[in-house]
Structure 1
Amino acid sequence: MTLAHHNPQPAGSGWLRAPLGVLFLVGGLALAGFGAWLLVLGGSAYYTVAGVLMLVDGILLLQRRPSALWLFAILLGGTLAWAIWEAGMDWWPLAARLDVLFVLALLLLTPWVRRGLVVSTATGADASTATPTWRAATRSGTLALGIAAIACVGVAGLSVARDQHRVAGQFDFESSAASPLPESAAGDAVPAGEWHAYGRTAFGQRYSPLAQITPANVGQLQKAWEFHTGDVRGRPGDPEETTYEVTPLKVGNRLYLCTPHQSVIALDATTGAQVWRRELGLPQGLALQHLTCRGLSYAPAAAAANAAPTSSTGGVDASKACGARLFMATPDGRLLAMSAQDGHACPGFGKDGAIDLKANMPNSNPGSYYSTSPVVVTQHALIVGGTVLDNVSTKEESGVVRAFDIDSGKLLWNWDSGNPDVTTPIEPGKTYTANSPNSWSAASVDESLGLVYLPMGNQPPDQWGANRSAAVERYSSSVVALDLATGQVRWVFQGAHHDLWDYDVPAQPSLVDIRRNGQTIPALVQPTKQGELFVLDRRTGEPVLPVTETPAPGGAAPGDHTAPTQPVSALSFAPEPLSGKRMWGATLADQLACRIAFHKLKYDGRFTPPSEQGTIVYPGNFGVFNWGAVAVDPVHQVVFATPAYLAFVSRLVPRPNDHALVVNDEPPKGSLPAINENFGAPYGAKMKPFLSPLGIPCQQPPWGYVAGADLRTGKIVWQHRNGTVRDLSPVPLPFHMGVPGIGGPIVTAGGVAFYSGNLDNYARAYAMANGRQLWESRLPAGGQATPMTYSGEDGRQYLLVVAGGHGSTGTKPGDSVIAYALPKTGG
């Protein structure tokens, strides 16, 4: 006679017990097996113990023992204690450790499991013929498991209510101790309601003296108008990194902007109506790694007045006929000058309004040298840097930086970091140094000091540096100050020594005067990918805030070497080192997978060199700061920053020869380059984010913040998580976890900062005093461009946000230019 026949149970009673028991068996085996692997690698023993307990629990469930409830209560309670020991009261790390077990506990507490349990297989007691012994055993197990589950809920409630990553603080802008400087500290004569350069001024501060929008009224911002450029990524031949990163200019009542596919557009700044448009066209067959336009450069008509009023033939100078001018660098290696009035080419500039930036270039290849950032405009000259193909080969074009006469386009000087001492214009027929470090980001200039400040990249390939020359070693990943008149180096400060991590200096330096120790110091603030904010005397390059050379890991690939030390600033947003405890995942399973991956990879902290084993690079080459830089309030000498934190994995792949593909599975389409192959070097490099099997970061959140720091003291005054995973998860969940972004912020005299670069498609406003979020607006696409602000003819202050998306981050593509303003008042 079978047990079921002897004591028949009610229909459906305890039906979930057996499937759950099988799940525990399978899950326990997997957890114990992979946990043992982690233990052998030197990781936590928790997963092995938890797997064994779950395995035994599965057996007890299949044997219908109430003790299964007790054992799972021990597992859940022990996991809670372990989770608090590892993660403290930090909600998201706790959730990853507890979520699956907590759900399983709830299932165990349901009647569909408990009614299927018996005291022993001999008695056959079940819910239909329950004995006091059965009831007591089930009740005590249920109580124990319920207490463990309630404890989890309590800890969750406490951890959600507090944010241990928050730095709470407040700038005291009203106190005399704040030592504000006059508005003239902004360093320019740009009208308050205008935006004449990429960073508003040549100082690159991203600061506006407008104060109509304040913390008290910013919540009333509403869309005033929206313009669609018609330029959306996804055309044939587009590289992956086709991005819309433009910050428009505002001059008079016009806005000027460019698009990735080479449209130049002028809009009415008050209404958003198109005034004129010039289609430059994008040549076919370009070997492009990036396709973007971060902005145009502007020169007022007065600059042309410095030229002779007549040409050599006695006629009117053609460049003067253009009046105010716009300058734009193109993907096919040209620099164009056009009239700000209607967009027509300025014929007196170069040849028919264009300069060939490919002139005197070695290894010339269509699309392998171009500029993505606006050029520097001074009273007499244009300073032009550019980007070369990164990590494609060791035979790329030159990273030379050149100065051209602003009116005629004549070459004035050239500074080649591979041949830095000779800056006189290159002779016809000669070429610049191949593969020399370049300056691809935006530069800044202080004409009163006669200096232009260049953020420098690295010599490709980034991950191999055995053959770099002394000049390359000196200028790679540095900020360099050049004499405006001659191009000669006045000083250099290096942000990363012997860079093997793509830690080029990616951001425009911000120039600001700092009052410190009773003196006003002309300073330069340089953000880096490593998270350092170096604050330097811009006259000499000497640190204003202390810089310490700290020991760095060794162990470079055979034939290469590492620098023994690396510089760290007193003002640093560098992340804490990773550890097994800081691995994360949506569940216990993928967190375990991340821990195994962490222990399999090479990681000795920041600056661990690349390896064939695979190295965790943290911060990754996405950077704590990238081309978006920071925003500086020059009056109060404080900075608004948007640090991001993502780990990457760099794996060196030996090359058998100079032409085989070792990183890419197949040749790229058309003329697009084979990225990371490093033809000519001993290794290719496989680069990818450090992600769990579910495609989320292996390091625990937060991954992105907004922060405020005092440039006089180096103190981070406040720092808060920023952004949600709404547009990063398969299900649009608005969890406020703190997500990374790319693009820059701005600050205003009204005490409000703005940022739209987070990867969750929102524009947001913050109180500069304490970082509190004051306003947000949903964007139709990714907002990975630096916003700007200006005054319209109607007297209103506008916030302008470009939402076009970013190919590398996968944010939604679009073509929107959106203006926000406070509601109109009066008649």
Structure 2
Amino acid sequence: MTTVKQDAVTQPTSRVWSLRIFGVLVALIGLTLAGGGIELIGLGGSWYYLLAGIGLLIAGALLALRKTLGAWIFTLVMVATIIWALAEVGLRFWPLMPRLAPFAVLAFVLALLLPSLAGPGIKRTSGVLAGILGLVLIAGGVSVFQEHGVTQAQVQPQNDPIKIETDGNASAWQYYGRTPAGTRFAPFDQIDQNNAKDLQVAWTFRTGEDSVGASEFQNTPTQIGDTVYVCTPLNKVIALDAETGKERWRFDPKVQDRKTWNRCRGVGYYEPAAVKQPYNFAEDAAFHASRATQTTSDGQCAGRIVLTTIDARMIELDAKTGQPCEDFGHGGTVDLSTGLGKTDYDGVLWWYLTSAPTVANNMIVLGGWVFDGRDVNEPSGVVRGFSADTGELIWAWDMGQPEITKLPPEGGAYSRGTPNVWSTPAFDEKLGLVYLPTGNQQPDFWGGDRPESTEKHSSAVVALDIATGRVKWVYQTVHHDIWDYDIASQPALYDIPDGKGGSTPALIQLTKRGQIFMLDRRTGQPITKVEEKPVPQTVAKGDWVAKTQPYSTGMPALGAEPLTEADMWGATFFDQLACRIAFRKLNYEGEFTAPSTKPTLLYPGYYGGFNWGSASIDERNGYLFVNDIRMPQVVQLEPHESVDPSKLVAGHGVGSTYPMNGTPFVIDHRAFNSPLGIPCHAPPWGVFAAIDLKTQQLVWERPAGTVEDAVVNGIKAKLPVPLGMPTLGGGVSTASGLVFYAGTQDYYLRALDIATGEEVWKGRLPVGGQATPMSYISPESGRQFVVIAAGGARQSPDRGDYVIAYALPKKP
């Protein structure tokens, strides 16, 4: 064996060269960190990387020369790094990982190489050190698969008495949020914490329409009696047997693929004979079930499915047969483009429907989706009320022309470019009010020319009189919104105890900002504290910003803390450093940093916070269940004259350019990711959480799902690491104390204990889900079913067309 001599100690050549190679590697790491550290300091950032880099450069050089001092300098840098890391992020596991894990690995290798540095006499010490560090690495590896950042529940829910529905005839999921209140609360208790482990697939149905291209399967099915109604992204409606999932009928409106945003989140349901004043959901549920299977003596529809399409039509179908209701509109169809003016731009529609229609009494209330960021002259955000019996236009609310209460004058059109209502309203029958979550005015990110008449209704909750469509009150969640912080979530209506034996009728509104507003739904006044806080005043030429913005300080906010350099993250200290440098280069002064000609960071960002999945409320105890998205974006304004129109990247959101015609700028969008393609800020990137509405306190919070099915740079992780991923789709809570969620990036439907947030069951899906699940009692067997549409998770290449129902095994 070839040997070399050092300090009278003979060493094998292989060991010597291993040490030298290790030393060179450490020196190169130090050189890289020092170089990046110089740039970071120049941007006003941390000095750590320069100092640590210099230390590692010296340590590596000395180790390559087989100098013991190199090991001592490395140890000093590592100890200093531990102190720095703890001072910067405390004991939080995921932020510590890229700071400390690389040092733990390097220290482990150095421990193994110590005998070639200091001679055989240190072999035992080397072994002990390597053993300790090996155990640290193993413990870290195990911890990677554990949940971190969990807020544990300190109290137990105080359940109020509530009627548990076990009769299938009384079970109806008639609205997008089950009832007009939008609480997604299923008053069933068959599936509970003890037996949820026994859940199994009861039936699976495939629609035949994969969610590919611009299509995403985000449908929450409607259930009336023994029938479940599903709509696909291209607006096919399919009636299924609630017990078996067998297809009963199918209606195809034959829409064209819009190539931009194919969605059908739900259908409406209407029965002329069921309308009462005031309407009572529970009392009429059994009546709905019987009417859905009937046809009137004159051949007209008794129960009616209300469908809105992505080519701007509204259609009523016989709930029994799927045939159009001939007495509605023209042969069952109403043209929703009437009065809107131009909506088709070179074959691309800029206005259509994606969310479920709202059937309130004998009225169908509709807003509409507009193609974000195209033009100041986009189609109107008008909201209209149609007769559910005939399809006749009863009223219109045109915020730009309030004098127009039905159709515009002949040759005219509803106001162009006004804020729209693309999400789902809620309504209160007793108060006679429908509550609209509004968008911000187009084209989203520049608003220098917006008129006051529409400005005051942007990104707000607006209460309209259901009968007349006139405004009763407005509450704005963002002033002069130039961040696309439109309200995506359906309002949730719940009566809050007032501490005096009574209750206050409340409206709980989630926002993309992670703020939760609790309003008196009679007046729109906040029930919990809201503060107007100063915000940055720097803004692009020709625009302006509000001096203050509303913060709901009386309610918990999720994911709303401003980002700092210390929040930057990576899989290694290299990409963490790269993210720190990138962060320092961005225009960012907090949540309300206005878009600029410099790259500008938006956080929470226009995906949320809280998106269209909305909240669920356990009506037994007043727990609010939410799931969120924590994915910032980087945007940049560019003057129109400097941009080649042929090179604009069409599309929606990250990876696209909005032309914003009629403004001085276009705006580019990209994700704020590291060089490895992962988010630049520390996880979690999405959570499940519960808030007690009675005390306005966060009860628990847990990371939402794992990276098991996430794809980064074309590679699927395949490891169930619970980082907490962005979520679409909301939850459904049940009277048994469970809340069901899909909508994560991994392919599961989960059941969580509402008291603790702990997972009590999860069912593997063939592809991911984006939809909100629903639950019902089958009238045939009396069994409780939980149903989810699974068409593929956002950003996943795996797509499908599945509707899957879970239930407990049939009793023998």
Give TM-score, length-normalised by structure 1: 0.89
Alpha carbons of 1:355 and 1:318: their partners in 2 closer, same or farther (altered >3 Å)?
farther
Contact persistence 1:72–1:145 (CA under 8 A): no
Amino acid at match of 1:634: E
Q: Any residues of structure 2 matched to 1:793-812 within 5 Å, and which?
A: 793-806=780-793, 808-810=794-796, 812=798
Contact persistence 1:183–1:635 (CA under 8 A): no
Q: Give the equivalent residue in structure 2 for 1:311.
A: none
Alpha carbons of 1:27 and 1:299: their partners in 2 closer, same or farther (altered >3 Å)?
same
Contact persistence 2:787–2:806 (CA under 8 A): yes
Counting matched residue pairs gives 778
**Alpha-carbon distance in structure 1 between the residues aligned to 2:530 and 2:143:** 39
Listed one character per residue, the Cα deviations across residues 536-555 of structure 1 (whole Å, up to 9, x for unaligned) are 11111111122221222221
Q: Give the equivalent residue in structure 2 for 1:345.
A: 324
3-state DSSP of counterpart to 2:79: helix
Matched, 1:199 2:213: no
Listed one character per residue, the Cα deviations across residues 726-764 of structure 1 (whole Å, up to 9, x for unaligned) are 112543111122222010111111111111011111110
3-state DSSP of counterpart to 1:73: helix
Matched, 1:698 2:680: yes
Matched, 1:532 2:515: yes
3-state DSSP of counterpart to 2:763: strand
Q: Any residues of structure 2 matched to 1:601-612 within 5 Å, and which?
A: 601-612=586-597
Q: Give the equivalent residue in structure 1 for 2:777.
A: 791
Q: Give the equivalent residue in structure 2 for 1:541.
A: 524
Contact persistence 2:115–2:126 (CA under 8 A): no
Amino acid at match of 1:795: G
Amino acid at match of 1:104: L
Matched, 1:620 2:605: yes
Matched, 1:17 2:2: no
Q: Give the equivalent residue in structure 1 for 2:104.
A: 102
Q: CA deviation at 1:102?
A: 1.8
Alpha carbons of 1:657 and 1:57: their partners in 2 closer, same or farther (altered >3 Å)?
closer
Q: Give the equivalent residue in structure 2 for 1:660.
A: 645
**Alpha-carbon distance in structure 2 between the residues aligned to 1:415 and 1:496:** 21
**Alpha-carbon distance in structure 2 between the residues aligned to 1:681 and 1:319:** 56
Q: Give the equivalent residue in structure 2 for 1:208.
A: 186
Corresponding residue to 1:819 among 805, 808, 812: 805
3-state DSSP of counterpart to 2:584: helix
Q: Any residues of structure 2 matched to 1:363-374 within 5 Å, and which?
A: 363-365=342-344, 366-374=348-356
Amino acid at match of 2:235: Q
Contact persistence 1:319–1:407 (CA under 8 A): no
Q: CA deviation at 1:282?
A: 2.3
Corresponding residue to 1:294 among 265, 273, 290: 265
Q: CA deviation at 1:192?
A: 4.2
Q: CA deviation at 1:517?
A: 2.8
Q: Give the equivalent residue in structure 2 for 1:128.
A: none
Corresponding residue to 2:314 among 332, 335, 340: 335
Amino acid at match of 1:567: P
Contact persistence 1:304–1:407 (CA under 8 A): no
Q: Give the equivalent residue in structure 2 for 1:323.
A: 302
Q: CA deviation at 1:261?
A: 2.0
Q: Give the equivalent residue in structure 2 for 1:223.
A: 201
Matched, 1:276 2:242: no
Listed one character per residue, the Cα deviations across residues 299-319 of structure 1 (whole Å, up to 9, x for unaligned) are 12525999xxxxxxxxx9999
Matched, 1:635 2:651: no
3-state DSSP of counterpart to 2:26: helix
Listed one character per residue, the Cα deviations across residues 150-208 of structure 1 (whole Å, up to 9, x for unaligned) are 7787899999989454243333325xxxxx37559x9xx99642211111111111111
Matched, 1:245 2:218: yes
Q: Any residues of structure 2 matched to 1:422-461 within 5 Å, and which?
A: 422-461=404-443
Q: CA deviation at 1:410?
A: 0.8
Could you tell me which runs of 5 or more consecutive residues in structure 2 were left unpaired when the two chains were aligned: 278-294
Matched, 1:780 2:766: yes
Q: CA deviation at 1:145?
A: 8.1
**Alpha-carbon distance in structure 1 between the residues aligned to 2:708 and 2:131:** 33
Q: Any residues of structure 2 matched to 1:353-432 within 5 Å, and which?
A: 353-365=332-344, 366-432=348-414
**Alpha-carbon distance in structure 2 between the residues aligned to 1:162 and 1:727:** 17
Q: Give the equivalent residue in structure 1 for 2:288.
A: none
Q: Give the equivalent residue in structure 1 for 2:636.
A: 651
Q: CA deviation at 1:140?
A: 7.4
**Alpha-carbon distance in structure 2 between the residues aligned to 1:162 and 1:292:** 33
Contact persistence 1:766–1:774 (CA under 8 A): yes
Contact persistence 2:111–2:129 (CA under 8 A): no
Amino acid at match of 1:220: D
Contact persistence 1:583–1:591 (CA under 8 A): yes
Listed one character per residue, the Cα deviations across residues 598-644 of structure 1 (whole Å, up to 9, x for unaligned) are 11112222211111222221111110110001001233222111133
Alpha carbons of 1:148 and 1:216: their partners in 2 closer, same or farther (altered >3 Å)?
closer
Contact persistence 1:616–1:648 (CA under 8 A): yes
Q: Give the equivalent residue in structure 2 for 1:74.
A: 76
Amino acid at match of 1:255: V
Contact persistence 1:392–1:674 (CA under 8 A): no
Q: Give the equivalent residue in structure 1 for 2:292.
A: none
3-state DSSP of counterpart to 2:509: strand
Q: Give the equivalent residue in structure 2 for 1:61.
A: 63
Q: CA deviation at 1:135?
A: 4.8
Amino acid at match of 1:529: K
Alpha carbons of 1:157 and 1:83: their partners in 2 closer, same or farther (altered >3 Å)?
farther
Matched, 1:523 2:506: yes
Contact persistence 2:223–2:776 (CA under 8 A): yes
Could you tell me which runs of 5 or more consecutive residues in structure 1 were left unpaired when the two chains were aligned: 120-133, 175-179, 307-315
Listed one character per residue, the Cα deviations across residues 779-820 of structure 1 (whole Å, up to 9, x for unaligned) are 1111110000011111110010111124x5336311111111
3-state DSSP of counterpart to 1:593: helix
Q: Any residues of structure 2 matched to 1:40-59 within 5 Å, and which?
A: 40-59=42-61
Alpha carbons of 1:155 and 1:296: their partners in 2 closer, same or farther (altered >3 Å)?
closer
Amino acid at match of 2:337: K
Amino acid at match of 2:175: A
**Alpha-carbon distance in structure 1 between the residues aligned to 2:331 and 2:145:** 63
Q: CA deviation at 1:144?
A: 7.5
**Alpha-carbon distance in structure 2 between the residues aligned to 1:145 and 1:61:** 17
Runs ≥4 residues deviating over 6 A: 5-8, 137-162, 316-320
**Alpha-carbon distance in structure 2 between the residues aligned to 1:347 and 1:231:** 27
Amino acid at match of 1:653: E
Amino acid at match of 2:351: Y
Matched, 1:553 2:531: no
Q: CA deviation at 1:532?
A: 1.6
Contact persistence 1:653–1:663 (CA under 8 A): no
Amino acid at match of 2:662: G
**Alpha-carbon distance in structure 1 between the residues aligned to 2:321 and 2:201:** 27
Contact persistence 2:177–2:184 (CA under 8 A): yes
Matched, 1:34 2:7: no
Q: Give the equivalent residue in structure 1 for 2:470.
A: 488
**Alpha-carbon distance in structure 2 between the residues aligned to 1:766 and 1:319:** 49
Matched, 1:254 2:227: yes
3-state DSSP of counterpart to 1:68: helix
3-state DSSP of counterpart to 1:621: coil
Q: CA deviation at 1:432?
A: 0.6
Contact persistence 1:170–1:718 (CA under 8 A): no
Alpha carbons of 1:668 and 1:297: their partners in 2 closer, same or farther (altered >3 Å)?
closer
